[in-house]
Amino acid sequence: MGCNNLEGHFDHHFYEICDMFPSMHSMVPDTCFETNFRLIYKYIKRVKNFKDVDTFRRHAKPFGVKLDPFGIGNGKTATGSTYRPIEETCPTTCEFRDNGCLAQLYRVNAVQKRSSSNALRQAFTASAAALVSINLEKKYKDTLGIKGRKYKNRARMHVSGDFLKHGSIDIEYIIYLCFIGIVIQSIKDVEVVGFGYSHCGDDIKPYLHPLKMCGFHFRLSGDVSSVGAVTIPSFEYLPMIKASLKEEGIKAIGCPEQLYPEKDITCATCHLCYKTDNVDRLIIFQAHGNHLNYSMIQESSIIHLNKFGLFN
């Protein structure tokens, strides 16, 4: 399947991916299916220390790849970010789609419309977003005056969009993400490369563990479990919900950034969503945004939480 006659570190990482996805040669539609992995690898090596978006874009051109839009965060969010097009990559079953989804509003909507579902292009963009986050870590840390190892600047994956393509899980993209993850883990000596949320439910579940092993931590939106994330109408319900979930054996915690606004917590200082100590907890958010979203999230969350007898 093309895993022979390779040399150097590329070989090593490529074999890891071959082991992880033994039949990937049939999943990655390329006549010489190593080619794209080599391109991604060479690109990561070339841009591994860059901190500027334009430089990432310029260096992608010789590979024949045009990067999708991606962000570099700011002192508050302190994360790079990627976008996928909602139309092609989000499940039609998501109750927010075309119904008040925050990623279909304002600036994010304009950005997601300019993004693509091309797996290689998305892989290059994910590499750039992950690297720029890690490379800006020191700058943000200094700016915010944070000392110690607690601060982690990691890419927020899929501010818009999800893991689908033509209605099925985009396995080619997932395999590229895993490859990117292990290469960046190795080059940058980091455990976490990026984090995000998915509405793909059971379809994405088999891939969550491989992605996490490779540094990409994704939570299931609306899933009342230790790998999920749900939104509730108000944190006034939080103690009741946590107590009830505890009886079901599920540990839950409110997003500290929302819960303690006076403490200036960000994802970079909290990182509960991508904790690596194996103490996974359901993350609970409080609805925010405009009234349309508020009432819709309220309705959606109540449906999910009613499975556990809450809000009945």
270 lies in the binding site for ligand SF4 (CB under 6 A) = yes
The pair of three-digit structure tokens given for residue 75, joined into one six-digit string = 């002192």
CB nearer to ligand SF4: pick between 168 and 278: 278
235 lies in the binding site for ligand SF4 (CB under 6 A) = no
The residue range among 42-50, 175-183, 271-279, 289-297 that interacts with ligand SF4, by the rule CB under 6 A, is 271-279
170 lies in the binding site for ligand SF4 (CB under 6 A) = no
The Cα–Cα gap between 311 and 305 comes to 7
The Cα–Cα gap between 266 and 76 comes to 6
CB nearer to ligand SF4: pick between 171 and 192: 192
Residues whose CB falls within 8 Å of the CB of residue 130, separated by 6 or more in sequence, listed in order:
80, 154, 155, 180, 184, 193, 194
Minimal distance, residue 252 CB to ligand SF4, in Å: 11
91 lies in the binding site for ligand SF4 (CB under 6 A) = no
Near ligand SF4 in 280-309, by CB under 6 A: 283
Read off φ and ψ for residue 54, nearest 5 degrees. Answer: -60, -35
Q: Out of 271, 296, 301, 305, name the contact with ligand SF4 by CB under 6 A.
A: 271
CB nearer to ligand SF4: pick between 177 and 273: 273
223 lies in the binding site for ligand SF4 (CB under 6 A) = no
Q: How many residues bind ligand SF4 (CB under 6 A)?
A: 10
> Which residue type does 93 have?
T
The residue range among 113-121, 137-145, 161-169, 268-276 that interacts with ligand SF4, by the rule CB under 6 A, is 268-276
256 lies in the binding site for ligand SF4 (CB under 6 A) = yes
**Distances from the Cα of 254 to the Cαs of 200, 201, 217, 287, 306, in angstroms?**
22, 21, 18, 12, 18
CB nearer to ligand SF4: pick between 76 and 209: 76
Q: Is 305 helix (H, G, I), strand (E, B) or coil?
A: helix
273 lies in the binding site for ligand SF4 (CB under 6 A) = yes
Strand-pair partners of 169 = 164
Read off φ and ψ for residue 227, nearest 5 degrees. Answer: -110, 15
267 lies in the binding site for ligand SF4 (CB under 6 A) = yes
255 lies in the binding site for ligand SF4 (CB under 6 A) = yes
**Distances from the Cα of 271 to the Cαs of 139, 195, 257, 268, 294, in angstroms?**
18, 9, 10, 6, 25
Q: Which positions touch ligand SF4 (CB under 6 A)?
A: 255-257, 265, 267, 270-273, 283
